[in-house]
Amino acid sequence: AAARVRLERERREAAELRLARARDLALGHAEFRAALEGMPQGVWKFDAGNRLVIANSRAAPLLGMAPEPLVPGTPFSAILQAGESDQDGLAGPILRRLRVIAGTDASESFVESEPEGRAISVTYRPLPQGGWLATFDDITERHESERHIRHMARHDPLTGLANRAWLMECLERILAELRLEAEEPERRGGLALLYLDLDRFKQVNDTLGHPAGDALLRQVAARIRQGLRSGDDGRPEDMVARLGGDEFVVMLRTASGTLAEKRDVAAMVGDRLVAALTSPFDLDGQVAHIGTTVGIALWAEDGGTAEELLRAADLALYHGKSGGRGRHVFFEPAMDHEARRRRTIETELRRALFEDEGRDLLVFFQPQVHALTRRPTGCEALVRWKRPGQEGLTSPGEFIDVAEETGLITALGLHVLRRACAEAVTWADPDMRVSVNLSSVQFGMPGLVQEVAEVLAATGLDPRRLELEVTESLLIENADDALETMKRLRALGVGFALDDFGTGYSSLAYLQAFPFDRVKIDRGFVREIHVRQGDAAIVRSVSALCGELGMATIAEGIETEEQLATVVAAGCQEAQGFLFSGPVHPWRLADVLSRLAAPAARAPRMGPPAPLRAA
Ligand code: C2E
Ligand code: CA
Ligand code: CA
> Could you read off the pLDDT of 65-87 as tens digits, one per residue?
888 888 889 999 999 988 887 66
Give the range among 227-231, 242-246, 606-610 with minimum mean pLDDT: 606-610
Amino acid 572: pLDDT: 96
Question: Which residues lie at CB < 5 A from ion ligand 2?
Answer: 437, 469, 499
For residue 42, what are the contacts with CB-CB under 8 A and spacing of at least 6?
Answer: 55, 56, 58, 59, 60, 62, 63, 135, 136, 137
Band of residue 496 on the pLDDT scale cut at 50, 70, 90: very high
Statement: residue 600 has pLDDT above 90: no
Give all strands (DSSP E) within 446-537, no chain letters: 466-471, 495-501, 518-521
pTM given for the model: 0.65
The predicted model gives 459-465 an average pLDDT of: 98
Please tell me the distance from the alpha carbon of residue 89 to that of residue 580, in angstroms, as a whole number: 91
Q: Using a 6 Å cutoff on CB, does residue 560 contact ligand 1?
A: no
Band of residue 614 on the pLDDT scale cut at 50, 70, 90: very low
Determine the distance separating the centroid of ligand 2 and the alpha carbon of 469, expressed in angstroms: 6
Using one digit for the tens of pLDDT, what is the confidence trace for 37-68? 888 899 999 999 999 988 999 998 888 888 88
Amino acid 610: pLDDT: 60
Of all protein residues, the one whose alpha carbon is nearest to atom 4 of ligand 1 is 382
Do 367 and 593 form a contact (C-beta atoms < 8 A)?
yes
User: How far are the Cα atoms of 234, 329, 474 from residue 269, in angstroms, in the given order?
Assistant: 17, 12, 35
Return the closest-CA partner of residue 218 out of 253, 248, 250: 248
Amino acid 313: pLDDT: 97
Give all strands (DSSP E) within 392-480, no chain letters: 433-437, 466-471
The predicted model gives 171-186 an average pLDDT of: 88
The predicted model gives 197-206 an average pLDDT of: 90
User: How far are the Cα atoms of 177, 236, 313 from residue 174, in angstroms, in the given order?
Assistant: 5, 11, 17
Of all protein residues, the one whose alpha carbon is nearest to atom 12 of ligand 1 is 557
Statement: residue 6 has pLDDT above 90: no
Q: Using a 6 Å cutoff on CB, does residue 615 contact ligand 1?
A: no
Of all protein residues, the one whose alpha carbon is nearest to atom 15 of ligand 1 is 577
Band of residue 510 on the pLDDT scale cut at 50, 70, 90: confident
CA dihedral (212, 222, 331, 321) in degrees, to 10, reads -20
Amino acid 269: pLDDT: 94
Amino acid 584: pLDDT: 98
Statement: residue 431 has pLDDT above 80: yes
